[in-house]
Structure 1
Amino acid sequence: MTAAAGRVVAGRYELSTLIGQGGMGQVWTAYDRRLDRRVAVKLLRPDKVAGAEADELRRRFVRECRITAQVDHPGLVTVHDAGSEGEELFLVMQYVDGADLSDHLAEHDPYPWQWAVAVAAQLCAVLSAVHAVPIVHRDLKPRNVMVKQDGTVTVLDLGVASVMDADTTRLTHTGTPIGSPAYMAPEQAMGGAVGPYTDLYALGVLLHELLSGDVPFAGSTALGVLHRHLYEPPLPVRRIRPEVPEALEALVLRLLAKDPQHRPDSAQEVYEHLALLLPALGVPTGGPLDPTRPFVRPHAPWPDRARTPAPQPAPVPPAAEAAKPDVARAVDDVKRLLGEGRITQAVDVLGAILPAAAEQHGERSPVVRTLRRQYAATLMDDGQYRRALPELRRLADERAAEAGQADPQCLRHRYDAAQCLEQLGEPAAALAEYRALLPYYENQYVAGDPDLAHDVRRRIGHLLLALGDRAAAHDTLARLLHDVERVHGPGHPLAADIRRTLQWLGRMHG
């Protein structure tokens, strides 16, 4: 079977975007249709499961699934599912939102040495858990490390990991060692036995790269790189960046020792050295993706939803990159997804198609307006109120400029925006918005809607309670109860709900 966007694996995981491809297979972002969530799916390529190598590759993949699942650490990607489909094998993992360390390094030149220390310290915690199994990762490198929005680090791909008590000397069928040459320890390059010390060497390479901007040993061929690992000394990082602390330079050189016995004894020991260089508790100076944050404010909530917008999901590309996106087809896909209750995926399809629709039809066209309204509504259905709010405000402002403040569509967008503010824990702002809307809904000559007016008044009463103004809340709700009973009778559900609230208020006052 071939992997392509839209294909459903195991009747459940719909492939979306190819995000990685290597010797063992491909990694895709995907959607879990059953739980309506984003996941990452790793596939073992069918053309690799063939001939004499089939059994070995299958064994390695099954081992990866089992081993990855048995290591419990927040710094390791979570395994959700694993299995086979025909001759193809799949591993379903947690989708990690952030930047891989290689891209993070490229975007920050020079990389702050404090960040390098924080990343390495977090990696030490992960390696300690991995080595305790005992497992050797064998392929620690920036592309296998993700920095999340809150600054925490997640290690990906134990795909070339090995259980140490069996088969610790590992070569591929082509006779080359398993791993990436630039990060490969001398003993690994020689095809010798590997252990935790092998991962510590890779950690040294990674630290050197973060501090200097380049790996210690590079070359035009893999063989040339491996030769340098074996015989050349690394360049001390302070010759490139004198501001790096001497203790950190010394630690990197120890990690890069040719002889495993000359390296630190464990990831725990490396952590203890790094801990002396970590920033003290306090207020973080950086924004998202700051790896010092977990140490500066450990266990602090993230993101700060009062100030930080929710991260944008990765866009879903068209099936053929050169072709123009099919807006009509995307709209049909969204209708189908919403009908199936797959709201998260519908949000991503809408978000990805909006720029193309604006380019094809114009930003103010009815098609784009309809898409934007659907996008905002779908974001609300998905509970993404922080992202829905600016969309709704923009829609309301544009409609007001064209048709006036009393236009029903404009009022509906403002009402939805007020609900977003309510859900985001901003009662004062929500209260102000509802109070501004109420005269329009109570005016029968403008947009009179008694039921919606009653709902707005109920919300105002509850927001007054939230803000601690019990007297005003009681007065608002008592007047509302009188009006609801007059219009709908005392048995109406809204009347019963208001009576319960007023009774509770009476008990609290008593």
Structure 2
Amino acid sequence: MNGRVIAGRYELATLIGQGGMGQVWTAYDQRLDRRVAVKLLRPDRMHAATEAEDMRRRFVRECRVTAQVDHPGLVTVHDAGSDDDDLYLVMQYVEGADLADHFAEHDDPYPWQWTVSVAAQLCAVLAAVHAVPIVHRDLKPRNVMVKPDGTLTVLDLGVASVLDTDTTRLTHTGTPIGTPAYMAPEQAMGGAVGPYTDLYALGVLLHELLTGDVPFAGTTALGILHRHLYEAPAPVRRTRPEVPPALEALVLHLLAKDPQHRPGSVHEVYERLAPLLPARGLPAGPLDPTRPFLRPQAPWPDRAAAPPPAPPVQPPTPAKPDVAGAVDEVKQLLGEGRITQAVDLLGNILPAAAAEHGERSPVVRILRKQYAATLLDDGQYRRALPELRRLADERAAESGPADPQALQFRYDAAQCLEQLGEPAAALGEYRVLLPYYENGYVSGGDPARAFELRHRMAQLLLAMGDHGEAGRQSQALLHDVERMYGSYHPLVGEIRRGLDRQRQFGGPR
């Protein structure tokens, strides 16, 4: 394949990596005369049409999600598309060494100042990733590059997903995505993941850089995951007494078994690292990760703590906006997969439509529903959440809280909360919604939606550390689903796999 030209432009040069998602090559961009990295979806992984389609969906999602994040600590996406039967993603080529190799070159663990510098840079990157929101799910030294100027670049958002319910189906078997040595307990158990999952992996990585070893090792993946669930990590000062107590305390906080007992965000972690960052001075040598802190970096301010942004300046409202034409254009854009443009067009036409037809007119309501649905489809959960809540409240005020459309809006809003890493709030919403679907308030009841809600609730309980209740609810759900659909229904298999994982790790605690 060496020498193959992709899309008439990218000449493949050297294979530098391969895995479940495909191959990664160095390549030359013939048009701009620069080196790039090209990821290809491997045809030999497509054993069946359904598998090929799932892989295609997953690859397209990787392209879209990665392109949403703009941060100097992440690879830049240049291009994406298809070439013959292959899908390709063109990215920035990153010079340097990955963190695992960089670490291995040192006979001893990192100086603790280096570890603090690595952690602070990773916090800045994760702040941008979590704001999308994305969970990386596989943060580890092999996925971090140390560039010649000491700055870090995080690689491989390919196993990350926009946090949605497709994740389990996209893994085919329901097996958790990630690397066992760095996998958080809730991820190992098959529970809902969130930013707190990456915080745990960050704790593992810091423990390794400070001591030379991951906190939980073993000869089998099952053994490693069992230790993550039930063993306490050794404090790093036992082997490195020169490590500041505050840094040891932070590592132990990150490695808490219960996600609710970890730091609240990467912003909080960065603030605790800031007093430990190296003072201004000369770097120790090439690829020194303290070098960037000669000019300190930090993540963008937390949106929750920052003042609300100024409202965007709207373009002049036309005297007679072509609402019908805009709706047709939105349909065309969505049909072509140009979701970002559809979102922008809907956002721009809504004020004009409201001015012409009235805020509560059928036209405006249809546009608002389309706007919320498109934001949801594009993974823009922060923007979708208030729109969905508004739609739910308006519909419930007119037609009652049991109205199917009002409930659907509330369900979609709960999905947003889950994707935004707010498991307790999402669980509360699901609990409110469940009786409407179980007790026949919605068109005689909706068992499929009720089962789906109960499954999500069990996974959220796992994410919140309540393994016992999650196991009991999953067992009851398995009984009810089997009784209604039989033993071979896909949901039965998914629940069984989750329960098997819990039993492998010692059952409910």
Is this contact kept in 2: 1:138–1:179, CA < 8 A?
A: yes
SS in 1 for 2:217: coil
Q: Which residue of 1 aligns with 2:10?
A: 13
2:30 to 33, 38, 44: 33
Shift of the 170–126 alpha-carbon distance from structure 1 to 2, 3 Å rule, reads: farther
Question: Which structure is higher in RCO with an 8 Å CA cutoff and minimum separation 6?
Answer: 2
Q: Which residue of 2 aligns with 1:53?
A: 51
Q: Which amino acid aligns with 2:271?
A: E
SS in 1 for 2:157: coil
Q: Which residue of 1 aligns with 2:80?
A: 82
Structure 2: segments with no counterpart, 5+ residues: 298-509
Q: Which residue of 2 aligns with 1:24?
A: 21
Could you tell me how far apart the structure 1 residues matched to 2:275 and 2:168 are? 35
Shift of the 54–157 alpha-carbon distance from structure 1 to 2, 3 Å rule, reads: same
Q: Which amino acid aligns with 1:230?
A: L
Is this contact kept in 2: 1:169–1:194, CA < 8 A?
A: no
Q: Which residue of 1 aligns with 2:185?
A: 186
Could you tell me how far apart the structure 1 residues matched to 2:141 and 2:292 are? 19
Task: Give how far 1:166 is off.
Answer: 4.5
Could you tell me how far apart the structure 2 residues matched to 1:98 and 1:221 are? 31
Q: Over residues 124-161 of structure 1, what are the superposed CA-to-partner deviations in whole Å (9 max), with x where a residue is unaligned? A: 01101111111111111111101111111111111011
Shift of the 264–298 alpha-carbon distance from structure 1 to 2, 3 Å rule, reads: closer
Could you tell me how far apart the structure 2 residues matched to 1:236 and 1:18 are? 40
Task: Give how far 1:168 is off.
Answer: 5.6
Is this contact kept in 2: 1:212–1:241, CA < 8 A?
A: yes
Shift of the 223–278 alpha-carbon distance from structure 1 to 2, 3 Å rule, reads: same
Q: Over residues 1-40 of structure 1, what are the superposed CA-to-partner deviations in whole Å (9 max), with x where a residue is unaligned? A: xxx2222222211111111111111111111111110101
Q: Which amino acid aligns with 2:272?
A: H
Could you tell me how far apart the structure 1 residues matched to 2:138 and 2:254 are? 16
Structure 2 matches for 1:164-183, cutoff 5 A?
A: 164-167=163-166, 172-183=171-182
Is this contact kept in 2: 1:168–1:193, CA < 8 A?
A: no
What is the Cα-based RMSD across aligned positions, in Å?
1.5
Q: Which amino acid aligns with 2:277?
A: L
SS in 2 for 1:209: helix
Q: Which residue of 2 aligns with 1:502?
A: none
Task: Give how far 1:49 is off.
Answer: 2.7
Q: Over residues 415-437 of structure 1, what are the superposed CA-to-partner deviations in whole Å (9 max), with x where a residue is unaligned? A: xxxxxxxxxxxxxxxxxxxxxxx
Structure number with bigger Rg: 1
1:295 to 293, 296, 306: 293
SS in 2 for 1:143: helix
Q: Which residue of 2 aligns with 1:141?
A: 140
Q: Which residue of 1 aligns with 2:264?
A: 265
Counterpart check, 1:43 vs 2:65: no
Task: Give how far 1:215 is off.
Answer: 1.0
Q: Which residue of 2 aligns with 1:68?
A: 66
Q: Over residues 392-423 of structure 1, what are the superposed CA-to-partner deviations in whole Å (9 max), with x where a residue is unaligned? A: xxxxxxxxxxxxxxxxxxxxxxxxxxxxxxxx
SS in 1 for 2:8: coil
SS in 2 for 1:276: helix
Task: Give how far 1:107 is off.
Answer: 0.9
Is this contact kept in 1: 2:58–2:170, CA < 8 A?
A: no
Could you tell me how far apart the structure 2 residues matched to 1:118 and 1:158 are? 22
How many matched pairs? 295
Structure 2 matches for 1:87-98, cutoff 5 A?
A: 87-98=85-96
Shift of the 165–21 alpha-carbon distance from structure 1 to 2, 3 Å rule, reads: closer
Structure 2 matches for 1:315-326, cutoff 5 A?
A: none
Q: Which amino acid aligns with 2:267?
A: Q
Could you tell me how far apart the structure 1 residues matched to 2:23 and 2:204 are? 26
SS in 1 for 2:132: coil
Is this contact kept in 1: 2:168–2:174, CA < 8 A?
A: no
Q: Which amino acid aligns with 2:197?
A: T
Task: Give how far 1:59 is off.
Answer: 1.0
Could you tell me how far apart the structure 2 residues matched to 1:153 and 1:27 are? 19
Q: Which residue of 1 aligns with 2:251?
A: 252
Could you tell me how far apart the structure 1 residues matched to 2:133 and 2:84 are? 32
Is this contact kept in 2: 1:71–1:129, CA < 8 A?
A: yes
Is this contact kept in 2: 1:140–1:202, CA < 8 A?
A: yes
Q: Which amino acid aligns with 2:105?
A: E
Could you tell me how far apart the structure 2 residues matched to 1:12 and 1:206 are? 38
Could you tell me how far apart the structure 1 residues matched to 2:166 and 2:139 are? 19
Q: Which residue of 2 aligns with 1:114?
A: 113
Structure 1: segments with no counterpart, 5+ residues: 300-510
Is this contact kept in 1: 2:54–2:170, CA < 8 A?
A: no
SS in 1 for 2:268: helix
Counterpart check, 1:222 vs 2:221: yes
TM-score, normalised to structure 1's length?
0.56
Could you tell me how far apart the structure 2 residues matched to 1:9 and 1:74 are? 26
Task: Give how far 1:297 is off.
Answer: 3.5
Q: Which residue of 2 aligns with 1:279?
A: 278
Is this contact kept in 1: 2:23–2:41, CA < 8 A?
A: yes
SS in 1 for 2:159: coil
Task: Give how far 1:165 is off.
Answer: 4.7
SS in 1 for 2:158: coil
